[in-house]
Structure formats: C-alpha cells, structure tokens
Structure 1
Amino acid sequence: MDFKRIEIIFVITFLALNIFLLTTYFDKSYNDFSSNTSNSEVNFTEEMDKSNIELPTFQNEKNKIPYVQAEANELLLKNYDSLSNQTGMIEKDGSVFTSILSSPIALTQEKEFTAKDIEKLALFVKSNQVLFGKQYQFFRYIKNSQQVVFTQIANNIPIADGTSEIIFHLDNSKKVISYEQSYAGPVTVQGESREVITDKNAVDILYQNNEIATDSIVKKPVLSYYRTLNLEELSMYAPAWFIEIESSTDTQTKRVDAINGTILKVPTLEQPQSATKSKLKSSIEADSASLNSNNESSLKE
C-alpha cells in the first residue's frame, strides 16, 4: 500500500474539515454578534420609550470626517477697532471681543424667535459690522438666557464648543443690545477622513451613561467640531455630536466624541463672565447714571 499517499489524503481531509468547522464557527459568531447588536439597539430605543424620552428622527448613517487645524492668531485684536456704531473692548489675549451696539437691532414682534429673526441677524453678521462674519452661520437660540448663537463653519461643519462663535444678547423687548465674539481663525483640513459614529450611537451612549433624564426631549444631534488640542501656535479640532436635551426645568447640551464615542466635558462661552464684559457693563451703567443725574438736574432747574 502507498502509505505516503494515504497520509497526504488524510492530512488534506483533516485540513478541509478544520477549515469547514472554523468557517461555520465564525459565521455563527458573526450572526450572533449582529443579532445581539440589533437587539441592543432596539432595547435602547424601547428603554428610552419606557422612560418617556422623546427621540428625534435619526439619520443613522456613518460618515467620514477629517480633523481640522486653526493657526494661532490675533485677528480680533488687530481689527476690532475698525468697527463702527458700537462700543467694544477685547480681552488682553485677544480671545473674546465684547460689543455694545449703539443702535440695538429690533427683531420681529413675534413672541417666539422666528426664521425672520434669524435672517435679520444673519444679514447683520455678514455686514461690515462684524469681523469675519461671512464665516459664521446661525446655530441655535437659547430661550432661557435670551441668547442667539452663530458659530464659525469649518469644512462645512460648525465649531460648537464656544471657541469660535458670536453670542447675541436680547433684552426684554426682543432687541439685540450686545454680543461677544470668539474666532478660531482660518481653518485647514488635516489628514485623512475618519469614520464617525452615527447620531443614534451618540444618543445611545448618553443613555447608557445616565446622561438623559426621564421625561425629557432629545433634539436632533448635530455633527460639529470641538477643540481637542490647544497649543501656542495652533489648535486642532475633532468631530463631535452636539446634542440638546430638554426637560421641564432647563435645556442641557451634551457632546460625544464622534470618533471614539467618549462623552466630552467641554467648557463653553455661552454665558461668558469675562473681566472685559464686566468693565464694559460698569462703564455703560456709569454713563447711564450720569445721564439720568443730568436730566434730573435740568428738570429741577
């Protein structure tokens, strides 16, 4: 008998059997994983529904987004004194410009903030009354604090971490009386695009980490940029999901890194309490008090 030939046949048969068993095992593992993933997604939605959490319509698509880079600059510091019809001051490091408008911008008489209000403010932003305004777009209206936020657009995506935005302040008669501006500077794309998690993934992550309370409303997530590296010469921005969550008492903002899925704790400038703003406010109040005092003296005479 040709034992060598029998040995070869036996080895080939053994290898084929192993390949078949391994293929069957991996196919089963993949199917189980897919099934568990699908069930997990359904369960998150069901659990949030049981908690009376209202969810938006998700896009649920995977996109590829690159990092972007902004060079360190003093563009606000060098240009703010060219603006007219406003009283302005700037932080010593040039990071935030604070302006009080000489002529407040009257918005519509509607009680709520409307599309016409956005359009009117957008025209002002893109005029020569705001530095680099053509690089900013409307982002959101904060009802509780009567603020309207415009953000710088980089790679067609808003920078929504407070480092490059314009915050308009409204008075009780729905007039824009002042604003603060921060500016990252000219932005360039860096490196290859990376796949980001979906908007639904981001909300699931927040829910898993008890970041979404019961009886709340989750607004539609917005893909944005946040500053992940701040050096003396440049800043790097990474993609993140910006998510607003409304409750009966307030509106909270959450951010989830769109690449690694971590929940971010990023400070913002939505309600800046800068020394410049305080000084400017004190100066205006002093001028106002002086004017009222003069008026009273004139009336007495």
Structure 2
Amino acid sequence: MNFKRIQGIFLIAFIVIDVFLFMMTKNSKVQDDSENAGSVNSAIVRDMKRDNIKVGRLSTTKQTGYYLSAEPQTQFGDRLNTLKNQSARNEDGAIISDFKNPVKVDTRHPERTLNRLMKQQGFVLDADEYRYDPDLSSATKVVYAQQGKEGPFFSPNARITFSVSDQHVVGYNQRKLADVKILHEKNDLITEERAVISLYQYNELPNNTKILWKKLAYTRFLELSGKEVYIPTWVIAINNKTNSQVQIKRINAFNGASVSTEKVQEQQNGKAKVESVGN
C-alpha cells in the first residue's frame, strides 16, 4: 500500500472522528440548553401558582405548523337547494337556515344528536369539515369549528353555530373558508407551556386568574387582496375575580408574541409589514 493511499485513509478517518465528536458536543449542548429551559419554565410556573394563577396541566409536546391562505366562501349557488327540511338563504356571505321542524337535543350533550344528523345528507353543507367545539358552545348555541388538513380554525369565518331554544335546535348560521393553501414549509411551534408562560410575562395573566381552556388553532393574521393569512395560534380562555367574563388571549405559536401586541399594516405594494406596538 503506497504512502499517499495510507495518508488518504488516515485523513478520512480523522474527518469522520472530528465530525462525530462535533455532533456529540452539539447534541450535548442542545440537551443542556433544553434542560436549562425546562428548569426556568418550571420556576416560572411555580411563580404563577404563587400568584394564585390556576393553569392546569401544561403540555410540553412539540408541534409544527404552517402559514396558510384562505378566503371566505360567500357564494353557495344551487347547493342550497340540496338542504332538506329547512329554509336556507345566503345572507352577507353566510348560510342562514331555519329548521321546519326544530330538533330536540339534550342540552348537556347536544353533540350526540347533532353528530348523528351531521352524517345525513342534506342537513348542512360540507358537514365532514366541521367538529363540535364544547369550549365555544353554551346553553343557547352549539358551535362546530371548521377543520383543515393542517388543524382546526378558530375564526367566525369558519364555524357553524346552531341556535338552541327550549331544548330544541331551531336553525343555524354557517360560514366557511375555501381554497386553503400552504404558503410556506412547516416550522416548529412553541409548546403549550411556553405559550402560557409568554402570556404571564406579557402581564396578561393577573393574580387570581384561572385558565379555562387552551387550544392550538389557526387564526387570521392579516388580509391581503381578499385573501386571509392564517397562522398557528395558542388560544387561551381566562377569567378572574375582578372580571367574571371570559377573556380570549392569543399567542403567536411561531414566535411566542402576544397577538394583541402585533400591528399589521398593508403596504401600497401589496406586501405586509408587522410592527410591534405596546399593549
């Protein structure tokens, strides 16, 4: 074996070992950073509990999400004629319908009856794209949220709201997002725990506050030329002793920013610019 060949083998071996050691060091650093972050997060959660903020169980599961574009569907054409046993009309881009025979439901679990009816052709349009949302429902309304392939939407433009009166569903209002497209490859999202901590650090979780529910969903970020852009958002519902009304808070799941601190401006050239503003 000649000297140059031996030299080449040793060089390749050296590079392989060097890369291996670099990766070991990098992985160790990532693990240390993760452990440090976990320790800091745990300390902040303890601070919240000392402030009598009830957060419930906080997930540290990591997820991914996309920038999406969509547009509200405003025309339904002859499809309204396929709806049965109801009087339906298109009004301001929504389907407004009154049932000819109101549907009796168990007000504690209205979804049991409605889920069955949603499977029947002619009850509502595109029923398979909506799922029952108990968090948004009440004694007088039952809400079904539109589901995309990438996740649920949290938007008035993507809901069916059934009206309940005297234990009967008497009609509904339906809005739908159409032409949903992915604008960018998927990105990592902050965890549920990190979202709640961000809310606390923005001073949007006062003392004696209780988190009622939290969910990851796509909410509208901006509108450009009739198209709406949606981003993954941690939607968090709270109330406290000083304000008994339920308040909805939103945290950008990409970067942890409070959505209320983001101001979107549309430029003349059609491009959007995001500026940070105070609460």
Task: Give TM-score, length-normalised by structure 2.
Answer: 0.71
Name the CA distance, whole Å, in 2 between partners of 1:30 and 1:64: 19
Pairwise mapping of residues 123-134 of structure 1 onto structure 2 (< 5 A)?
Answer: 123-127=116-120, 128-134=122-128
Name the CA distance, whole Å, in 2 between partners of 1:156 and 1:30: 28
Moved more, 150-159 or 185-194: 185-194
Query: How big is the shift at 1:126?
Result: 3.5
Query: How big is the shift at 1:77?
Result: 5.2
* Counterpart secondary structure, 2:111: helix
Query: Would you say 1:236 and 2:229 are equivalent positions?
Result: yes
Q: Name the counterpart of 1:224.
A: 217
Amino acid in structure 1 at the alignment position of 2:50: K
Name the CA distance, whole Å, in 2 between partners of 1:135 and 1:35: 40
Pairwise mapping of residues 62-77 of structure 1 onto structure 2 (< 5 A)?
Answer: 62-71=62-71, 73-76=73-76
Counterpart selection for 1:203 from 188, 196, 205: 196
- 1:191-236 deviation per Cα after TM superposition (whole angstroms, max 9, x unaligned): 2101111111111111122322333322442111012233345332
Q: Name the counterpart of 1:61.
A: 61
Name the CA distance, whole Å, in 1 between partners of 2:115 and 2:217: 20
Larger-Rg structure: 1
Q: Name the counterpart of 1:264.
A: 259
Query: Would you say 1:167 and 2:161 are equivalent positions?
Result: yes
Query: Would you say 1:183 and 2:176 are equivalent positions?
Result: yes
Name the CA distance, whole Å, in 2 between partners of 1:76 and 1:177: 21
Query: How big is the shift at 1:84?
Result: 2.9
- 1:93-152 deviation per Cα after TM superposition (whole angstroms, max 9, x unaligned): x2x2222222222112xxx623xx213212223332111111111122446663221111
Instruction: Indicate conservation of the 8 Å contact 1:141/1:148, yes or no.
Output: no
Amino acid in structure 2 at the alignment position of 1:98: I
Instruction: Indicate conservation of the 8 Å contact 2:72/2:157, yes or no.
Output: no
* Counterpart secondary structure, 1:44: helix
Counterpart selection for 1:153 from 147, 153, 166: 147
Instruction: Indicate conservation of the 8 Å contact 1:58/1:220, yes or no.
Output: no
* Counterpart secondary structure, 1:140: coil
Query: How big is the shift at 1:56?
Result: 2.3
Higher helix share: 1
Relative to structure 1, the CA distance from residue 167 to residue 53 in structure 2 (aligned partners, 3 Å threshold; closer, same or farther) is same
Indicate the RMSD between aligned Cα atoms, in angstroms. 3.0
Instruction: Indicate conservation of the 8 Å contact 1:155/1:189, yes or no.
Output: no
Which ranges of structure 2 fall in alignment gaps of 5 or more residues?
1-28, 262-279
Task: Give TM-score, length-normalised by structure 1.
Answer: 0.66
Q: Name the counterpart of 2:45.
A: 45
Instruction: Indicate conservation of the 8 Å contact 2:137/2:143, yes or no.
Output: no
Q: Name the counterpart of 1:103.
A: 101
Counterpart selection for 2:247 from 252, 261, 273: 252
Instruction: Indicate conservation of the 8 Å contact 2:145/2:153, yes or no.
Output: yes
Name the CA distance, whole Å, in 2 between partners of 1:226 and 1:143: 18
Query: How big is the shift at 1:189?
Result: 2.8
Instruction: Indicate conservation of the 8 Å contact 2:72/2:175, yes or no.
Output: no
Name the CA distance, whole Å, in 2 between partners of 1:242 and 1:48: 19
Aligned residues: 231
Name the CA distance, whole Å, in 1 between partners of 2:77 and 2:258: 33
- 1:24-51 deviation per Cα after TM superposition (whole angstroms, max 9, x unaligned): xxxxx99997776445312321122122
Higher strand share: 2
Amino acid in structure 1 at the alignment position of 2:56: P
Name the CA distance, whole Å, in 2 between partners of 1:181 and 1:34: 44
Q: Name the counterpart of 2:91.
A: 91
Which ranges of structure 1 fall in alignment gaps of 5 or more residues?
1-28, 267-301
